[in-house]
Amino acid sequence: MSRTAHLSKHHGLGNDFLVWQGGDVSLGAAMARRWCDRRRGVGADGLLVATPRPDASWEMVLFNADGSRAEMSGNGIRCFVQAISGGVPGSYRVHTDAGERMVEVLATDDPQTVMASVHMGPVRSGRPSVFWAEVGAHPDRPVAHLDLGNPHTVVGVDDVTVVDLSLIGGQVPDINLEIVHPGPEATAITMRVHERGAGITEACGTGACASAWAAVQWGLVPASVAEVLVHMDGGDARVLLNTPEPGHVTLVGPSVYIASVDLPIDASTGTAT
C-alpha cells in the first residue's frame, strides 16, 4: 500500500530545502536521506516537516540531508514560511526545536520570491566541537563558539577563498563552522560555511547571525553599527543587531519558490519508492 507526499522546494540564497506539509515526522530522517540526495532524489540541503497547530501557529522540524535532526535554520525557516503561507504577506509564528520564532513576510516584484524577516532570538556562548582541539587552529586567529539555538564556531581568516573549508569542516562534524573576513564594505563581512549534516552550503542564516555578532566583538565592523551585511556564496543577508531587544538578532533575506513535486511513499516500509 502506498501514499503520496506533496513537497515544495525553495531556496534561501542557494541554501535549498524541501518542505513537506502535513508530513510524518517519524519518517523524516529516512525521507531526508532519500529525497535530499542530489543524484538519486530531488536534491536539497534539508527536509522541513510542517505541522499546523490549533492556535494557527506551525511546528517546523528540520532534518539535514544526512537524516540527522537539527534545531534551527535561518534560511530554512524563511523557506518554510513561504511554503505554509503561499507567499501571503503577514506575521507567522513557528515552533522549532530551538524555540519559537516570529517571521514577517513581505511580497516582492517577483511572485516566486518573498522577503522575510526572522526574529532569531538571543546569541549565547556556545560549546566548541568535541574535536576542536584536534583541528589545531592558529592561536592568532579569532575564534568564537556561539549558540543560535544550534552550535556554531566562527573563525576569522585573511581570505575565505583560500581556506580548505571542506577539510576543516569535516574535522568538526558536530558543529556549523563559519570562516569570515572583513568587508569589502565597512559594515560588511564575507563568510563561507560548512554545515553540520550537509557539508559546504551556499549560505547559512544562523551562521550569518553568529558571524555578524562575532565580527562586531572582534572589531571587523564598527561597534556602533546596528546592521551587518553578510556576503555568502549564494548571496547577501542582513543581520540586525540587538533587535528586537538587546542581545537578540534579526535575520533578513529572501526565499524563492522553485517547484512542487509529488512522491510516492511505501507505507509498509516507510521509505520512498
Each residue of 173-195: pLDDT tens digit?
999 999 999 999 999 999 999 99
172 half-sphere exposure, CB direction, 13 A CA radius: 28
pLDDT at 266: 67
| 3-state secondary structure (DSSP) of residue 96 | strand
> What domains are there in the chain, each with its CATH number?
2-119+255-268 (3.10.310.10), 124-253 (3.10.310.10)
Kindly indicate the confidence band of residue 117, based on its pLDDT and cuts at 50, 70 and 90: very high
pLDDT at 159: 97
pLDDT at position 271 over 70: no
Distances, alpha carbon 270 to alpha carbons 23, 43, 233, 260, in Å: 12, 19, 36, 21
Q: What is the pTM of this model?
A: 0.94
Distances, alpha carbon 210 to alpha carbons 5, 143, 265, 267, in Å: 34, 11, 38, 40
Q: Which residue has the cell 550569518?
A: 208
Length in residues, the chain: 273
pLDDT at 125: 97
pLDDT at 2: 65
Q: Which residue has the cell 513535486?
A: 261
Confirm if 143 and 137 have CB atoms less than 8 A apart. Answer: yes
pLDDT at 273: 46
The CA-based angle 161-162-164, given to 5 degrees, is 105
- What is the tens place of the pLDDT at every residue in 50-69? 999 999 999 999 999 999 99
Percent of the chain surpassing pLDDT 70: 96
pLDDT at 84: 97
**Alpha-carbon span 151 to 128, nearest angstrom:** 8
- What is the tens place of the pLDDT at every residue in 201-224? 999 999 999 999 999 999 999 999
Q: Which of 176, 213, 222, 215 minimizes the C-alpha distance to 196?
A: 176
Q: Which residue has the cell 542582513?
A: 238
Confirm if 123 and 130 have CB atoms less than 8 A apart. Answer: no
